[in-house]
Homo-oligomer: A and B are copies of this chain.
Amino acid sequence: MAVCTVYTIPTTTHLGSFNQNKQVFFYNNKSFNYNKRSSSNNILTSSRPYVITCSAGDSQTVVIGLAADSGCGKSTFMRRLTSVFGGAAEPPKGGNPDSNTLISDTTTVICLDDFHSLDRTGRKEKGVTALDPRANDFDLMYEQVKALKEGKPVDKPIYNHVSGLLDPPELIQPPKILVIEGLHPMYDARVRELLDFSIYLDISNEVKFAWKIQRDMKERGHSLESIKASIEARKPDFDAYIDPQKQYADVVIEVLPTQLIPDDDEGKVLRVKMIQKEGVKYFNPVYLFDEGSTISWIPCGRKLTCSYPGIKFSYGPDTFYDNEVTVVEMDGQFDRLDELIYVESHLSNLSTKFYGEVTQQMLKHQEFPGSNNGTGFFQTIIGLKIRDLFEQIVANRAAAPAAAAKA
């Protein structure tokens, strides 16, 4: 049973503030279906003067933040995450074809670019980049994420990446899991507070550069100078507004050049670090062999043969922005299935539901970028950790009223 509220709102706003004309009623949220509202419930027949929000205890949304620069594999990460829950993520049906939102049975992923307060022209006029907080509406971001977390649908704006304009808003229903992904999920303290779990995807400058060379120079014919200039131009704002969010992340995935090939600058073989914060509720860091010690491991040897340059794992405690963290690092890449399952079988706290689940997930999406290295491997593991976190939160909520009833 969910406690739902009907708001009367002006159709033109983004539902930035909606504390007026509140009406509360009760609704069974299992039979609740927003798409059917016009036919099944006449109080909601008007085109969009009202919105139903369900701020019920047992339907509260778990909110995950994913920070990363644009084009750093966030969408692959999201597809891996939703796959763990069994469904495929798709854009909202029948809506704006340029919507940035992805919806699956359990998970809704919204792109924080939708909270740009300045469109492309506006940014140009004011001389600010999209990375600059002044180009983003954190008040609205906070209000809408808060509303969704409390089980209330919102009319979220859409930033059209094709036109560079702000399109009319789309209705977002509170999902079981809301992922907010983009440049600033942990920038605003109020938004940060709403996050149940946060991830920062950190691509090192060397790897970014190698990737851009590959894509923009070799595939699109840009010059080396123009690539360098575009990276340099972006750097001050990136360092000022994006990078510092790392310190708040529960997990940072760092993508670095390999150390297995001396002086490698191709960026094809990657070294990926999963930096896991200690003491995060519902999250037990993954470890290798012996929890709390420092280990390096080359699995390739007598039992497992690997092609050059092989695979190397490192594991150990560390500090990161004054926080205690546990780091698992993978350098190199998988060639074959047996390597993947061998590695998986030696890691602990993976939050799998059966032996080999990480490998199964990786195989299911072999075509995704990073499926043969640490990026795909750790993204899949984080997907499993988020499922575990979600299930613990739900179980905990279910247990709390039962305990209260007993007392």
Contacts and interface: CB of A to CB of B under 8 A. Distances in A.
Query: From DSSP, what is the main secondary structure of chain A's interface residues?
Result: loop
Interface string A317-358: 100000000000000000000000000001000000000000
A293 B289 contact: no
Contacts of A316: 298, 301
A290 B297 contact: yes
Contacts of A260: none
A297 B316 CA distance: 9
A304 interface: yes
Interface of A: 289-304, 316-317, 346
In this complex, the member of A289, A291, A301, A316 whose beta carbon has the largest number of chain B beta carbons within 10 angstroms is A301
Contact of A295 (B292, B297, B302, B303): B297
Contacts of A293: 297-304
Contacts of A304: 292-293
Contact of A292 (B290, B296, B302, B317): B302
Contacts of A294: 297-298, 301
A253 to B, nearest CB: 22
Contact of A303 (B292, B297, B298, B299): B292
A140 to B, nearest CB: 42
A172 to B, nearest CB: 41
Nearest to A288: B289
A274 B335 CA distance: 33
Nearest to A295: B297
12 contacts: A289-B295, A290-B297, A290-B303, A290-B346, A291-B303, A292-B303, A293-B301, A295-B295, A295-B296, A296-B296, A301-B317, A302-B317
Nearest to A287: B302
Given A301-B316, A316-B301, A289 B291 contact: no
A185 to B, nearest CB: 29
A332 to B, nearest CB: 13
A293 B299 CA distance: 5
